[in-house]
């Protein structure tokens, strides 16, 4: 295995909004991407995720409209300069991507005694996120883009695509062919927020104690 190639994927991966160029998608690539997601680790092997592939335009338009309302609400809450910085930033590519993938979490899968979820209930949610990152990296490896849309009310999305209780939607992922992957993340390019140095995120043995290891 070419380890540089692996790290290249990690580094190239972006949260795509502007660069989607529509379908069609190669079905064998799509299957490999979904299989990679499904091979993620999960607490107690529950594999508590499902993937709803949304290619119906009526559903996508309804979702896009809902997201734009939530975007406005967020913008209205921002003050002064923050609002000016936020307003030019596109936060979704729902209609421009090839398909939407709604990723759901089923907390009931695996029954009542889930190995590893006995002390921390959210470990089930965590598993679904691991699957999402596998999907995201696989799509990047295949030359596709992924954009995670989170400006929505969960209840709206449940109604829209029929997600039954007690399941929860965890993400709407825009997926599809793209023109390019930007080198710099959108939120950094638009001066919303920059990247944090790795060294600031590392401690040794106790939170707040800087690393003595020479990395």
Q: Contacts with a second copy in 47-86 (CB under 8 A)? A: 47, 49-56, 59, 70, 73-74, 77-78, 82, 86
CB neighbour list of residue 170: distance below 8 Å, 6 or more residues apart: 49, 103, 104, 105, 125, 128, 129, 132
Which of residues 11 and 180 has its CB atom nearest to a second copy in the complex?
11
Neighbours of 79 (CB within 10 A): 6
* Helix, coil or strand: residue 55: coil
Asked if 94 is part of the footprint of a second copy (rule: CB under 8 A), the reply reads no
Q: How far is the CB of 177 from a second copy (least distance, A)?
A: 16
Which of residues 150 and 179 has its CB atom nearest to a second copy in the complex?
150
Near a second copy by CB under 8 A: residue from 20, 142, 144, 177: 142
Sign, CA dihedral 145-148-149-155, equals: positive
| Contact pattern from residue 95 through residue 134 relative to a second copy, giving x for each residue in contact according to CB under 8 A and a dash for the rest | ---------x-----x--x-xxxxxx-xx-xx--xx-xxx
Which of residues 97 and 104 has its CB atom nearest to a second copy in the complex?
104
Q: How far is the CB of 64 from a second copy (least distance, A)?
A: 15
Q: How far is the CB of 179 from a second copy (least distance, A)?
A: 19
Residue in 145, 134, 142 with CA at minimum distance from that of residue 179: 145
Helix spans in 25-153 (H): 27-38, 57-77, 81-86, 123-141
Phi, psi of 156 (to 5 degrees): -60, -45
Q: How far is the CB of 94 from a second copy (least distance, A)?
A: 14
Which value, to the nearest 10 degrees, does the dihedral of the CA atoms of residues 92, 97, 99, 101 take? Answer: -30
Which of residues 74 and 179 has its CB atom nearest to a second copy in the complex?
74
Decide if 138 contacts 168 (C-beta within 8 A): no
Residues 163-182 that bind a second copy (CB under 8 A): 163-164, 167, 170-171
Residues 179-208 that bind a second copy (CB under 8 A): 185, 187-188, 192-196, 198, 201-208
Which of residues 65 and 154 has its CB atom nearest to a second copy in the complex?
154
The 3 state secondary structure assigned to 75-92 is HHHCCCHHHHHHCCCCCC
Near a second copy by CB under 8 A: residue from 63, 64, 91, 177: 91
Q: How far is the CB of 96 from a second copy (least distance, A)?
A: 18
């Amino acid at each position: 295995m070419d380890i540089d190639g692996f790290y290249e994927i990690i580094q190239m991966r972006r949260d795509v909004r502007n660069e989607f160029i529509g379908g069609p998608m190669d079905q064998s690539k799509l299957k490999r991407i979904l299989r990679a997601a499904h091979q993620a680790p999960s607490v107690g092997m529950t594999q508590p995720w499902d993937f709803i592939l949304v290619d119906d335009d009526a559903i996508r338009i309804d979702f896009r409209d809902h997201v734009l309302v939530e975007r406005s609400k967020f913008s209205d809450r921002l003050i002064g300069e923050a609002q000016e910085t936020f307003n030019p930033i596109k936060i979704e590519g729902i209609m421009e991507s090839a398909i939407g993938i709604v990723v759901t979490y089923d907390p009931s899968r695996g029954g009542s005694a889930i190995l590893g979820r006995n002390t921390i209930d959210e470990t089930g949610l965590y598993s679904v996120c691991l699957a999402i990152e596998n999907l995201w990296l696989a799509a990047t490896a295949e030359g596709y883009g992924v954009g995670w849309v989170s400006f929505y009310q969960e209840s709206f999305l449940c109604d829209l695509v029929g997600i039954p209780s007690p399941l929860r939607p965890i993400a709407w992922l825009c997926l599809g062919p793209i023109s390019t992957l930007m080198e710099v993340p959108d939120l950094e390019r638009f001066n919303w927020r920059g990247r944090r140095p790795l060294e600031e995120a590392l401690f040794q043995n106790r939170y707040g104690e800087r690393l003595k290891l020479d990395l």
